């Protein structure tokens, strides 16, 4: 069972979580719990770090200490929940990442899990003690506290569930499941009963914020079902949530499962490029050296025969870094000028049914055209079509696509 920040936001919520955990244990289950920091805490801690590090550049990287600080939010909730459980008569103890240990690589602030040693932890579960694990954190090869990147406690939970060979990982949050799109934009968005791993992975990486992308990837690779449900359900009201699992035939009948959007996009155009082999490789090398992830890429020819234009997108917060790196490599790459547009959004439709249905692209582009929405860039995969549009039309596009594919109707 994993509980996010809003589910452990205050002592009242923590007492309620203790009740949910004790119900699960009372069914005879061995329960491992992973908790996030109380909502707002991580941001507050990050704020302290940012304020101090803005003083100067002297002393180099501070990422190791960033981790030591921001990991503390989860330490607090793990201890509080363990107390709340004991006060209900449930045996429980807290576990920090280093105590398990949950080993990561040394990439502080965005570390990857290498290994989880489950011997002691498992023994403790077998002894009837509920284990309450601080999410988001682990221990680096140097023995330092590390963290898994924002939203990382989802990944902690799935990784622990995989290591323990759990039957399922239940992720409790403040929404009652995965929706066809953001219900704040489309009021008749629907909760999905089930969704395939691949679809969830695309939705998460295209901007749906329910689960950290890496947690879905990990669940998919290990075929570990995730259930997304709310910790705010009223007593007695059914709370089935959404099951994220391997695809089955019924799922294929649905052409599109969801519409995702992301406003955190920026479009970079390189004009008057030399049109010779190796140019795109050079651009991508420059971006990866600057640690910038490139998403959509389009190359077009320009009116002059030996010149091309390239348009690609990066995360909005990476724009300055990207442009600085490109300018520094202008000579090497060989382009005329750079244009930046950071008022763009990416809107995507996702569904495994696209593999076996035709006309999906047509329906999508027609729905956008009918609303007069201009498309800047298109990218597709087997189960996804994304378009880059003016940010101003984000909501309109999401609504248009949701109704064009009749996602409000139960299928």
Instruction: Give the residue with the Cβ less far from Mg ion, 151 or 351.
Output: 151
Give residues in contact with Mg ion (CB under 5 A): 4, 151
H/E stretch holding 288 reads helix 279-289
Number of chain residues interacting with ligand ASP (CB under 6 A): 13
Place of tokens 């939705």: 203
> Do the beta carbons of residue 206 and residue 346 sit within 8 Å?
yes
Buried/exposed code over 333-361 (b: 16+ C-beta within 10 A; e: otherwise): bbbeeeeebbebbbbbbbbbbbeeeeebe
Smaller CB separation from ligand ASP, 4 or 258: 4
Q: Which of 128, 94, 69 is nearest to 14 (CA)?
A: 94
Cβ proximity to ligand ASP, 70 vs 383, nearer residue? 70
Show the binding pattern over residues 197-236: x = contacts ligand ASP (CB under 6 A), - = does not.
----------------------------------------
Task: State the alpha helices, DSSP H only, in 149-271.
Answer: 153-163, 197-205, 213-221, 249-253
| The binder of ligand ASP chosen from 93, 112, 150, 274 (CB under 6 A) | 150
Q: Is 5 in the site for ligand ASP (CB under 6 A)?
A: yes
User: Of the candidates 151, 207, 351, 353, which one interacts with ligand ASP according to CB under 6 A?
Assistant: 151
Residue 136 makes contact with ligand ASP by CB under 6 A: yes
Site for ligand ASP in 153-192 (CB under 6 A): 153-154
Report the alpha-carbon distance of residue 311 to residue 338 in Å, rounded: 10
Query: Where does this chain touch ligand ASP (CB under 6 A) — which range of 18-26, 148-156, 165-173, 198-206?
Result: 148-156
SS3 label, residue 384: strand
223 CB burial (10 A radius; 0-12, 13-18, 19+): exposed
Among 152, 258, 351, 353, which residue sits at the site for ligand ASP (rule: CB under 6 A)? Answer: 152
Contact between 37 and ligand ASP (CB under 6 A)? yes
CA-CA distance, 149 to 19, in Å (whole number)?
Answer: 29
For residue 184, the minimal CB distance to Mg ion (Å) is 17
Phi, psi at residue 70, to the nearest 5°?
Answer: -70, -25
Determine, following the binding rule CB under 6 A, whether residue 140 of this chain makes contact with ligand ASP: no
d(CA 60, CA 53): 10
Place of tokens 């047509």: 362
Q: How far apart are CA 67 and CA 110, in angstroms?
A: 9
User: Which residue, 145 or 279, has its beta carbon nearer to ligand ASP?
Assistant: 145
Residue 42 lies near ligand ASP (rule: CB under 6 A): yes
Give the number of C-alpha atoms closer than 13 A to the C-alpha of residue 206, restricted to the C-beta side.
Answer: 28
Residue identified by tokens 């582009």 is 365
Q: Which of 36, 104, 206, 348 binds ligand ASP (CB under 6 A)?
A: 36
CB of 66 to ligand ASP, least distance (A): 12
- Only one of the segments 54-62, 149-157, 193-201, 342-350 lies at the binding site for ligand ASP (rule: CB under 6 A); that segment is 149-157
Q: Nearer Cβ to ligand ASP, position 154 or 198?
A: 154
Work out what residue 37 binds among ligand ASP, Mg ion, none; the CB cut-off runs from 5 to 8 Å by kind: ligand ASP
| Region at 238 (left for phi over 0; alpha for psi -120 to 50; beta for the rest) | beta
| CA dihedral sign of residues 142, 145, 151, 153 | positive
Find the helix or strand (DSSP H, E) in which 268 lies.
strand 258-274
**150: partner contacted, choices ligand ASP, Mg ion, none (Cβ within 5-8 A by kind):** ligand ASP
Taking CB within 5 to 8 Å according to partner kind, which of ligand ASP, Mg ion, none is near residue 152? ligand ASP
206 binds, among ligand ASP, Mg ion, none (CB under 5 to 8 A by kind): none
Residue of 6, 34, 73, 314 that binds ligand ASP (CB under 6 A): 73
Report the partner that residue 241 touches, choosing among ligand ASP, Mg ion, none (CB closer than 5 to 8 A by kind). Answer: none
- Where do contacts with ligand ASP occur on this chain (CB under 6 A)? 4-5, 36-37, 42, 73, 135-136, 150-154
């Amino acid at each position: 069972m994993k509980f996010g920040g809003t589910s452990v936001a205050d002592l009242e919520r923590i007492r309620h979580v203790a009740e949910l955990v004790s119900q699960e244990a009372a069914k005879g289950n061995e329960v491992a719990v992973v908790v996030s920091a109380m909502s707002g805490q991580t941001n507050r801690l990050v704020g302290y770090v940012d304020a101090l590090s803005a003083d100067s550049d002297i002393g180099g990287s501070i990422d190791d200490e960033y981790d030591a600080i921001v990991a503390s939010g989860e330490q607090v909730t793990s201890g509080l929940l363990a107390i709340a459980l004991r006060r209900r008569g449930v045996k429980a103890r807290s576990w920090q990442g280093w105590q398990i240990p949950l080993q990561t690589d040394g990439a502080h602030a965005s570390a990857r899990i290498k290994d989880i040693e489950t011997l002691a932890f498992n023994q403790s579960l077998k002894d009837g003690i509920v284990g309450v694990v601080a999410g988001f954190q682990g221990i680096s090869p140097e023995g330092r506290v590390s963290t898994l990147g924002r939203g990382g406690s989802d990944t902690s939970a799935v990784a622990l569930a995989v290591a323990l060979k759990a039957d399922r990982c239940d992720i409790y949050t403040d929404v009652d499941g995965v929706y066809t799109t953001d219900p704040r934009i489309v009021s008749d968005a629907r909760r999905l009963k089930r969704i395939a791993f691949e679809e969830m992975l695309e939705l998460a990486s295209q901007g749906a914020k329910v689960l950290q992308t890496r947690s879905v990837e990990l669940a998919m690779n290990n075929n570990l079902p995730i259930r997304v449900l709310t910790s705010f359900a009223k007593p007695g009201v059914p709370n089935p949530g959404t099951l994220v699992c391997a695809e089955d035939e019924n799922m294929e009948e649905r052409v599109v499962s969801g519409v995702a959007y992301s406003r955190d996009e920026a479009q970079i155009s390189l004009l008057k490029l030399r049109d010779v082999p190796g140019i795109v490789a050079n651009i991508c090398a420059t971006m990866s050296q600057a640690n910038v992830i490139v998403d959509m890429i389009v190359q077009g020819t320009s009116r002059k025969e030996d010149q091309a234009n390239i348009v690609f997108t990066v995360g909005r917060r990476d724009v300055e870094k990207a442009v600085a790196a490109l300018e520094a490599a202008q000579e090497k790459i060989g382009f005329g000028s750079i244009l930046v547009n950071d008022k763009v959004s990416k809107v995507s439709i996702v569904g495994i049914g696209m593999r076996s249905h035709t006309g999906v692209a047509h329906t999508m582009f027609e729905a956008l055209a009918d609303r007069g929405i201009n498309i800047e860039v298109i990218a597709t995969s087997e189960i996804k079509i994304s378009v880059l549009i003016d940010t101003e039309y984000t909501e309109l596009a999401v609504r248009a696509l949701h109704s064009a594919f009749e996602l409000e109707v139960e299928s």
